[in-house]
Amino acid sequence: MADAPKPPKCAIQTRGLNLWYGDFQALFDVDFDVPAGRVTGLIGPSGCGKSTLLRSVNRIVERLGYVRTTGTIDVLGNDIFGANVELLQVRKQIGMVFQRPNPLPLSIRDNVLFGLRTHGSSTGTGADHKSKPTKAEEAQIVEQSLRTVLLWDKVKDRLGEPAIRLSLEEQQKLCIARLLPVKPRVLLMDEPCSALDPDGTAAVEELIWSLKGDYTILIVTHNMAQARRATEECAFMLHGRLVEHTETAKMFVSPKNQSTADYIEGRYG
């Protein structure tokens, strides 16, 4: 029996990526390699293209009708713009966490199960792939997802309560838990701690660190202390271009580009 194919070393790879909002060019020839199983940060001043690049990876930026792109984006070895690629499958493989928690107006349990009930699991084949989970299977999925995001012990006795009763920190963890049943392999996070207090930020950073290895995480942050604490690699962007990408420790100790050094040291941004 042949060995199973090895996962790609790069979970995300862009080549010559350009993006326009109407006549405004937001990204310029971005070549970017995001290693599988690591936490990579995107930093840079407001308007530099970080969130645009992030949202290009799952094509959510295309919801704006005036967006045009050239170049390529490969995720898990597949061209996401390929003629035979289904957008739904792209987004099942790539989970998205936004700046503010966005729990659905449902119970904690139903939030966790929402994606599974809507799209089904990404595992299985044939009839098994399309079968509806039993109540026992759903209960197991809810528990496992909430344990993964370090939330189970806090909410296990109130799964039927509305999710909006949770604290902001807990809501953000729940939004991550909601992604897990459909088994994404990449998690995109756009300023996931911007609405949280310091304790909530520390809790979500702990969660991010616990997820690395099992998931590839690409996180946009304006918080330099957070970038230093919570990422393994960092990429610095400026004016729509990728200026520098290296190990986080190297970037903060000895950046190669003067623009990177100026930004990290707070001279602009």
pLDDT, position 181: 92
- Whether residue 189 lies inside any domain: the answer is yes
Is it the case that residue 1 has pLDDT exceeding 80? Answer: no
For 121-143, write each residue's pLDDT tens digit. Answer: 544 433 344 567 888 999 999 99
Q: What are phi and psi of 140, to 5 degrees?
A: -65, -40
User: Mean per-residue pLDDT for 9-21?
Assistant: 95
- Whether residue 178 lies inside any domain: the answer is yes
Enter the DSSP assignment of 62: G
239 — pLDDT class (breaks 50, 70, 90): very high
In whole angstroms, how far apart are CA 243 and each of 68, 95, 164, 176, 269? 22, 26, 40, 30, 15
Count of structural domains within the chain: 1
User: Mean per-residue pLDDT for 59-87?
Assistant: 88
Domain that holds residue 201: 36-53+92-120+135-265
Is it the case that residue 208 has pLDDT exceeding 80? Answer: yes
Is it the case that residue 221 has pLDDT exceeding 90? Answer: yes
- Whether residue 240 lies inside any domain: the answer is yes
32 against 4, higher pLDDT: 32
CATH number of the domain where residue 208 is located: 3.40.50.300
Residue 234 contacts by C-beta under 8 Å, 6 or more apart in sequence? 40, 41, 42, 43, 227, 245, 246, 247, 248, 251, 252
Q: Label residue 72 left, alpha or beta by phi (over 0 means left) and psi (-120 to 50 means alpha).
A: beta
Smallest CA-to-CA distance from 237 within 10, 19, 70 is with: 19
User: Mean per-residue pLDDT for 145-153?
Assistant: 94
Query: What distance in Å separates the CA atoms of residue 178 and residue 158, rounded to the nearest whole number?
Result: 16
